[in-house]
Every structure is written in C-alpha cells, then in structure tokens.
Structure 1
Amino acid sequence: MAKEPEKKPRWYKLIAQAYQAAAPHDRWLLPLIIIIPVAIIALSVVIGLLFDNTIVLVYVIIFGVLAAALAGLFTLTRRFEKVMFQRMEGQIGASLSIAQNMRGSYQFADDPISVDPRGKSIVFRGVGKGGVVLIAEGGNAATKQVAAATRRINKLVPGVPVHTIYVGTHADEVPLSKLTKAVKGPKKVLSKSERAAVTARLDAIGGQRLPVPKGVDPMRARPDRKAMRGR
C-alpha cells in the first residue's frame, strides 16, 4: 500500500514553531513583534485622519494593518534567523548546512574534502560562478589542509580561481550570518556548463576524502526561509 504524502504544516503553525524556538533565546522578540506593528497601525491612523476623509481613512488603516502584519512577520523571521545562527556558531559542519541552502549557482558536496583526524578542523568544497570555494572551519588549524586542497585543485582544474573562506568569530574569519554573502562575493568567471565540467572533474579525480568525525551533523538547526514565509 502506497504511503500517503506527508502533509506540510500550515503557515500559522510554522510561525508558532519559529516563535517558540527563538523566544527563549531573545528577550526582545516579543516586545518588537508587538511594538512595531502597533506603531505602524497608529501611524496609518494618524495619516488617514490628516485627509479628513472617511474612505481614505479606511483604506489607509487597511493598508496599515497589512503592513503591520508583514513587518511583524519580517521581524520574527530575522530574529529567528539570528538566534539560529548564534546557536549554530561553533558547531562543526554548520557552515555546510548554510552553504547547501544558498539560492543561486553554487553547489557544495555533502562530504568534506579534508578532515583533521582529531576533529579540530574541516574543509568543504563548492563550485559556483566565481570558481571553486573552500569553506574551512577550525581557524589556523585548517591552514595546512586548505593549502594542500588548493594545490590539488589547481592541478586538477588549472586556471579556475580558488577562494577560501575561514568560518568563525575571530579576526579575518566570517561569521555564519555573513557566510552566504561571502560565498557569493567573487565575480562570475564560470558558465553553467563550465561549472558542471569542473564539478565532474573534481568529483571523478577527487581529493582526499576522510570520514567525518562523530558529532558532525551539518543538516540540523538550519533556518528555513521558505517555511517562514508560509510557502
């Protein structure tokens, strides 16, 4: 007997889940999602009264209510994402979860290309319009791994730019909240067909593939923007 397709949760349940997940870690969440919509509605009423016309007043209030709802949802979404990034910060493999959920022309492999046997550092590889991207976790501990991976990639796909992003909270490192922007930063140098060819060559000839240390679970605790919008 065929299984029934799993029903997607309704949008209001997703909003409730997002609030329940973020509220314990963000004391400003509730005040903001109350104050901002109320302020917008109040402003719309004031603007409507200035026209001294009942019809205009009604339309302005309706517009204000809709704008207030959108502002409240936007505030919840952004605060939820901020909390999720903070909770993911420092977790091994968290950067891969964010990179794989990027919109656009970048594709990241599920497996890391280099892992420190002691679990202190890990390097992931992606290919996109800007070339090859290496995302390194572990700070200075990943420097040698990045250098070795870069040399290997330059031999396999000569002429393709290799960009390295060190993820973390220290100087010269990129926090998780800014990782998407950092990955998309380099200008376009590869077409869609060229990206496919580079990915195929790197996957076929490959590089060192070591097992992921225990505890690496990059697919958890990732913000789902589509779900937050009720899609």
Structure 2
Amino acid sequence: MEIALWFLAIIFVIIFVVVLILVWSRYSELKAKELKKKGLGHDIREQQKSFRVLLQGLMNDHLIAAPHKQGLSMLINNYFVYQPINDINVGHFNELYNTLVKSIGKLRDAPHSNKVNIAVAFHELALELPINTSDYSAHFYLDIAPMLAVQLENRVDELIVQQEQMASSASYVEEEEEEEILHTSDSFQPDTMEVKPPEERKVTLVTREHMSIR
C-alpha cells in the first residue's frame, strides 16, 4: 500500500513538473513575442518620425505644400491602425517606406533648378491618397499603396529625364547661337576709306595749284 502511495506521489510530482515546464515555456514564448512586438513597434515609430522629418524638409524647401505633407504622412502613419504588427506586415511596411524614401532622395539630389518640376510627382501622389483614416485599410496597404509607391518612383524618374533633356537642349541651342554670332563677327568686314600717304597728298595739292595758275 505504501509503495502504491509513493508511486502515485512520484507520478503526481512528475506530472506537476511537466505541467510547470510547459506553462513556463509558454509564458516565455509569449513574453518573447511581446518583447519582439515592442521592438518592432519602436522601430516603426522611429521610421514614421524620420519620414515626417523628410517631408518637413521638402515643405521647408517649398517643394510640397502643407496639405500634401499631411496626406503623405498619413500614408506611413496609418499603416498599422487597422493591421497587426507582425513580421509579414512589417516586411510590407518596410518595402513601402523604402520606396518612398528612395523617391524623396532622388528629388533632393536633383539640381536645384529642377526640383520644383520633379516635386510635381509628389503632388500627384498626394491627390490620389484617401482623406479618411478609415480608408487606410489592410486592402489598401496590400494592393493599392505599393502600386502608388512604384508609380511615384517611376514618375520621379520620368521627370528627372525630362528635365535633363530640356537642359541638354537648352545648352545645345546656346552653343549654336554662340557659334552663329562668332561666324557673323568673323565674316563682317567694315568699309574703309583709302588714305593716301602725306607725300602723295602734297604732290596732288601742288599739281592743282600749278594748274590753277596756268
């Protein structure tokens, strides 16, 4: 009887230890996920802050207006309003963020005289974005936002090429005009009066006086 009780006690202890290990393992797993989620959330907030700083710089340079800045900020700030923070969504967020930042970098690196014209691409994007926060849904960020970001990058590249071609054409026209002016200057020969040496003028004068005396 005592052996049976000892056996049951040992079984009970083993079961208790196994359950305790499972509970602790599950708790540790949940704790790790929570810490990871907090870390991802911190990184996301830093990226959102950095994006707002970039947009503020564009507005300070008079490349985008305040309403456009607000709309573009919502594109990044509202990403996780209706979506959970997980590895998949964070991956999609980073792709969108990097594409937008890349386009902003191309605008900032463009020649100063071209920036206003290239910034038109950001105005066009801002006009296509939803106004209401509720419209920034998971569907929007999965299907529409990536397309708009790629469209922005392509539009920026297109405008950069256009500005470079216009600058090249203007430079070519200026060179042609300069060559034409130089050619005209070289071919122009002003009329000059033939001036006789003093000796010839003196002889002519004496001859005329001699003829008048005769």
TM-score class, shorter:
under 0.3
More strand as a share of residues: 1
Higher relative contact order (CA 8 A, sep 6+): 1
More helix as a share of residues: 2
TM-score computed with the length of structure 1 as normaliser: 0.26
Larger radius of gyration: 2
